[in-house]
Each structure stands twice: as structure tokens, then as C-alpha cells.
């Protein structure tokens, strides 16, 4: 079955819509309360630099070896299956909790317009709506995303340009005032999640035109545009409302300078659409990761089933059902943000390790990739990104409550038991060696390496 693929332009809009989402509306007030109003603007700038460093190793890998499931595929094939298995379960946590974050944030802003509807009902409803949209395939999801992003950018523009003239603190004062370094690290650990999003494209690489080139371009363009918008948004937020401890959400600030009609547009066209674009892309991203793991046998075979629209339908439902169960169980927004920050930071260096093995296992694909950067520079960036991830993760760890630790530890224990039983079941009952399957090179990568080798042979013979 031929899968419809999306273009570079759609990739850029998908990336922007993925970044500008629930996270900025959910985490900006939290980050401001950690670092204070004086550090938030620089915090977003520093966080964007960290996002480039943190995502760059994945970008290098995707440019050379694109595949649905991205990091999972790279870890299982280039490092070791067990490392990939840990990452697969991390994705199961991060994916479902990120969608939960977005859905809960959507319900918070939705309640400002329709206060009588319970937030949990709203959060579950919006999750189901975009689950259904995702079932119609990536082309349809991209079309919905493009429309939403156009309206979203207009709403953010109203907030930034409308609020700039109502600030009571100058930009110079906000940037030049001192702040505590430890609090900056903790805030950046949370804020970086607001700028990560364009990496969704890496996880759907098989469904994108010329992914080795278009994904890096879309990532860079989308992240730069968004980081500039965030810095301006942060300044307006604390500039209009310097008593930052009273900021519960951005709508609280917006109502100080927007007319009632514009406030409704900002909430519906800005906050609400920002959330739904992120829900759309998160479901796209993480369902592909679950699909890749199921293809190797880690999850049940039904999870890898492709529907008539070319979408992994059961994988999409798996992600959404777990999300809904998490929301029903009573997780609040702060719990969800903290739980996703730890595997997203402390455990992310395992993803970067694949870069070290890339030139040894697929040397010619690496040399002919769009990102032609010396290997030693890539390795240096990996080391820097790993150190920063661990450093920020340790500061976020200090913000967590005991119940967050208990939930995370329990999850990894259950995951380890499940993996052991799954390997044993497949080997004893099905005669299937899951670990050996995970070591098998991905066929499109083999074809890509063969083509690259032939290109080098032609060049050398001339």
C-alpha cells in the first residue's frame, strides 16, 4: 500500500504547530514562578539553544537513516535492543503524558469560555477528536495542522503586538536584571519542552518526501521562528504583569489589554488551537514509535496494524486510551509536566549514543547525508547535549513530589517484568526471537547504504 507523503512546506507548518502548543501555555506560568519574571525571556533563548543541541544528534541520525519510529529504530539497530526497549517504554510514558498535558491545558482555557463543562470531560473529548483525525492518515492530519497553524500565528501576533504597548517594565530591565543560576537551570528544564516539537517529523520519516533533507530544514526553520515568538511572548507576559506570582495562565495577562472579543479570539484561536496542533502532532509522533516497537514484537502484533488510510490505527488508539486513563485517574498538570521531564531529560542521552555507531555500521549513508558535518563535531555535540540534559534533569528532579518518584519507579519495574515475560512467551510459544529481530537492519537503510556505496564507486572510478 502506497502511503501519501507530505511536502517540505507542510513539514515546516507541522513543525511550528507541534512546537507552539500546550507546553508554552502550560509551562510558561510554572517556569516564571520558578525563575521569576526577570529570567524568563533569557530562559527561553537559552532553552532554544539547548533544544538545538539536544535534538541535533537525532537530526544527524534521521538525515542519514530516516525511519518511522526514529530513535527506537536507531537504538535497536545501532546500539543494542535492550537500550531501544528502554527508550520504547520512555516513549510510552512521554507520549501519553504529553497528550495528557495538552488535553488538560486545552480544558483549562476552554473552561474560560464555557465554565459549566467539567475539565476532564473536555480533555477526554478533544483527545478523542484528534485520535479520529489521526486515523485518516498523515495527509489529512497535515491539512488540519496547516489551517490551525495559520489561525494560531494570528492569535499569538495579537497577544504580542497588543501587549507590547501595555508593558510597565522595559525589555532592557527584564533582560539585564540578575537571576539565580540554579533556578534558571530548573526553569530551562521545564521550558525546553515548550520548544521541542519539530522532532515529531523524525518519527514519521517514512511518510515525508525526501526526509533526509526536508526534516532538518523544517526543524531549523520551525524552531528559530518559534523561539523568537516565545521570547517576545515571555516579555509581554511579565512586562504587562510584573507581579508574576499572580499569573496562572496567559489569558490572565491577555485580559488586561485585549478587548473581550479579542480575548475570546486569543483563547480560542491561540491557546486552544495551539493545544490541538500539539495533540495532533504528538499522536502522530508517538503512535509511530509504538508501531515500530510492535513490528519488532515488543508490543502485541495488533499494534502494528495499518488501516486503509496508511495510519497505524491500533497504535494511535493505544496512545490515546492510556492518555485518557491517566486523566481519569486524577493526574494534574504539574504532575504530568514533572513526570515527562525526567525521561525527557535524564534518560535522553541514551538516544544520542547511536551517533557514535553510525559511521561504523552505515558509513556511506552517513557521508552522503544532507547534514555533512565532521564526525568529531557530532560526537562533541552529543557529549555537550548529554551533560546539559543530565544537569537540567537533576534540577527538575528536585521539583518533584514523592508520588512522582513512586509512579516512575513502579512503571519501570512493571516494564522490566513485561519485557521478560514477552521475550519468553514469543520464544517458547511462537518460536520468535524478539532480540534477534531487533538487531536486523531496516531494509530501506540497507538499500540506502547500497546506493551510497555505488555513488562512491562511480566517483572513484572517474
Per-residue model confidence (pLDDT) at position 192: 67
**What is the spatial distance between Cα 439 and Cα 196, in angstroms, rounded to a whole number?**
29
Mean local confidence (pLDDT), 424-449: 91
pLDDT tens-digit series, residues 191-219? 766 777 777 788 888 888 888 888 889 88
- The three three-digit cell numbers of residue 310, written as one number: 496508511
Mean local confidence (pLDDT), 106-130: 84
Q: Is the pLDDT of residue 424 over 80?
A: yes
In the chain, the N- to C-terminal Cα span, in Å, equals 39
Q: Which residue has the higher pLDDT, 409 or 450?
A: 450
Residue 68 CA to chain centroid, in angstroms? Answer: 15
pLDDT tens-digit series, residues 142-171? 888 788 888 888 888 888 988 888 888 777
Going from N- to C-terminal start, the domains of the chain cover: 8-452
Per-residue model confidence (pLDDT) at position 447: 92
At 373, the pLDDT band (50, 70, 90 cuts) reads confident
Full 3-state SS string of the chain: CCCCCECHHHHHHHHHHHHCCHHHHHHHHHHHHHHCCCCHHHHHHHHHHHHHHHHHHHHHHHHHCCCECCHHHHHHHHHCHHHHHHHHHHHHHHHHHHHHHHHHHHHHHHHHHCCCCCHHHHHHHHHHHHHHHHCCCHHHHHHHHHHHHHHHHHHHHHHHHHHHCCCCCCHHHHHHCCCCHHHHHHHHHHHHHHHCCHHHHHHEHHHECCHHHHHHHHHHHHHHHHHHHHHHHHHHHHHHCCCHHHCCCHHHHHCCCCCHHHHHHHHHHHHHHHHHHHHHHHHHHHHHHHHHHHHCCCCCHHHHCCCCCCCCHHHHHHHHHHHHHHHHCCCCHHHHHHHHHHHHHCCCHHHHCHHHHHHHHCHHHHHCCCCCCCHHHHHHHHHHHHHHHHHHHHHHHCCCCHHHHHHHHHHHHHHHHHHHHHHHHHHHHCCCCHHHHHHCCCHHHHHHHHHHHHHHHHHHHC
**What is the spatial distance between Cα 326 and Cα 347, in angstroms, rounded to a whole number?**
22
Mean pLDDT of the chain: 81
Mean local confidence (pLDDT), 293-322: 88
pLDDT tens-digit series, residues 3-29? 567 888 888 887 887 777 656 776 777
Q: Which residue has the higher pLDDT, 196 or 122?
A: 122
Per-residue model confidence (pLDDT) at position 334: 59
**For the chain, what percent of residues have pLDDT higher than 70?**
86
At 417, the pLDDT band (50, 70, 90 cuts) reads very high
Instruction: Tell me which of 111-125, 208-222, 242-256 is least confident.
Output: 242-256
Q: Are 257 and 241 in contact (CB under 8 A)?
A: no
At 434, the pLDDT band (50, 70, 90 cuts) reads very high
At 333, the pLDDT band (50, 70, 90 cuts) reads low
Q: Which residue has the higher pLDDT, 349 or 354?
A: 354
**What is the spatial distance between Cα 311 and Cα 371, in angstroms, rounded to a whole number?**
29
- Among 1.20.1740.10, 3.30.450.20, 3.30.750.24, 1.25.40.340, name the CATH number for the domain at 8-452: 1.20.1740.10
**What is the spatial distance between Cα 186 and Cα 196, in angstroms, rounded to a whole number?**
16
Cβ-Cβ contacts under 8 Å for 271 (sequence gap 6 or more): 25, 105, 106, 109, 155, 249, 250, 251
**What is the spatial distance between Cα 236 and Cα 162, in angstroms, rounded to a whole number?**
9
Q: Which residue has the higher pLDDT, 20 or 332?
A: 20
Mean local confidence (pLDDT), 229-242: 84
Per-residue model confidence (pLDDT) at position 21: 65
Per-residue model confidence (pLDDT) at position 186: 67
Per-residue model confidence (pLDDT) at position 338: 58
**What is the spatial distance between Cα 87 and Cα 75, in angstroms, rounded to a whole number?**
8
Task: Supply angle C-alpha 85, 411, 389, rounded to 5.
Answer: 65
Q: Is the pLDDT of residue 259 over 70?
A: yes
Q: Are 68 and 203 in contact (CB under 8 A)?
A: yes
Q: Is the pLDDT of residue 400 over 70?
A: no
At 74, the pLDDT band (50, 70, 90 cuts) reads very high
Nearest in space to 289 (alpha carbons), one of 458, 60, 38, 94 = 94
Q: Is the pLDDT of residue 119 over 80?
A: yes
Amino acid at each position: 500500500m502506497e502511503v501519501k507523503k507530505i511536502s517540505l512546506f507542510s513539514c515546516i507548518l507541522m513543525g511550528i504547530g507541534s512546537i507552539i502548543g500546550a507546553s508554552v501555555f502550560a509551562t510558561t506560568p510554572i517556569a516564571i514562578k520558578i525563575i521569576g519574571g526577570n529570567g524568563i525571556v533569557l530562559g527561553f533563548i537559552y532553552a532554544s539553544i539547548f533544544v538545538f543541541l539536544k535534538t541535533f544528534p537525532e537530526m544527524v541520525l534521521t538525515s542519514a537513516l530516516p525511519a518511522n519510529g526514529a530513535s527506537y529504530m536507531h537504538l535497536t539497530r545501532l546500539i543494542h535492543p535492550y537500550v531501544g526497549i528502554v527508550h520504547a517504554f520512555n516513549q510510552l510514558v512521554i507520549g501519553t503524558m504529553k497528550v495528557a498535558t495538552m488535553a488538560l491545558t486545552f480544558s483549562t482555557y476552554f473552561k474560560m469560555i464555557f465554565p459549566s463543562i467539567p475539565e476532564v470531560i473536555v480533555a477526554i473529548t478533544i483527545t478523542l477528536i484528534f485520535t479520529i483525525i489521526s486515523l485518516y492518515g498523515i495527509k489529512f492530519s497535515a491539512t488540519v495542522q496547516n489551517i490551525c497553524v495559520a489561525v494560531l500565528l494570528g492569535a499569538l501576533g495579537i497577544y504580542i503586538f497588543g501587549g507590547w504597548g501595555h508593558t510597565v517594565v522595559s525589555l532592557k530591565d527584564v533582560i539585564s536584571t540578575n537571576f539565580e543560576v540554579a533556578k534558571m537551570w530548573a526553569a530551562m528544564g521545564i521550558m525546553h519542552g515548550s520548544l521541542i516539537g519539530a522532532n515529531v517529523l523524525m518519527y514519521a520519516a517514512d511518510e515525508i518526501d525526501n526526509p533526509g533533507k526536508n526534516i532538518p530544514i523544517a526543524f531549523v526553520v520551525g524552531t528559530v521562528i518559534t523561539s523568537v515568538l516565545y521570547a517576545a511572548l515571555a516579555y509581554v507576559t511579565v512586562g504587562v504583569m510584573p507581579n508574576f506570582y499572580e499569573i496562572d495562565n496567559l489569558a490572565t495577562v491577555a485580559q488586561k489589554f485585549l478587548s473581550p472579543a479579542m480575548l475570546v479570539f486569543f483563547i480560542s484561536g491561540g491557546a486552544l488551537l495551539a493545544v490541538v496542533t500539539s495533540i495532533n502532532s504528538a499522536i502522530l509522533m508517538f503512535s509511530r514509535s509504538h508501531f515500530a516497537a510492535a513490528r519488532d514484537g515488543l508490543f502485541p502484533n495488533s499494534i502494528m496494524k495499518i488501516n486503509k488510510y496508511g495510519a497505524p490505527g491500533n497504535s494511535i488508539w493505544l496512545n490515546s486510551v492510556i492518555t485518557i486513563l491517566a486523566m481519569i485517574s486524577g493526574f494534574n498538570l504539574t504532575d504530568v509536566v514533572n513526570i515527562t521531564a525526567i525521561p525527557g531529560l535524564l534518560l535522553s542521552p541514551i538516544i544520542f549514543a547511536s551517533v557514535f555507531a553510525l559511521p561504523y555500521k552505515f558509513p556511506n549513508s552517513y557521508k552522503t547525508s544532507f547534514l555533512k558535518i565532521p564526525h568529531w563535531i557530532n560526537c562533541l555535540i552529543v557529549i555537550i547535549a548529554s551533560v546539559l540534559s543530565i544537569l537540567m534533569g537533576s534540577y527538575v528532579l528536585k521539583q518533584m513530589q514523592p508520588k512522582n518518584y513512586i509512579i516512575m519507579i513502579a512503571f519501570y519495574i512493571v516494564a522490566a517484568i513485561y519485557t521478560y515475560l514477552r521475550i519468553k512467551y514469543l520464544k517458547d510459544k511462537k518460536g520468535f526471537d524478539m532480540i534477534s529481530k531487533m538487531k536486523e537492519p531496516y531494509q530501506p537503510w540497507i538499500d540506502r547504504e547500497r546506493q551510497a556505496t555505488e555513488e562512491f564507486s562511480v566517483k572513484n572510478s572517474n
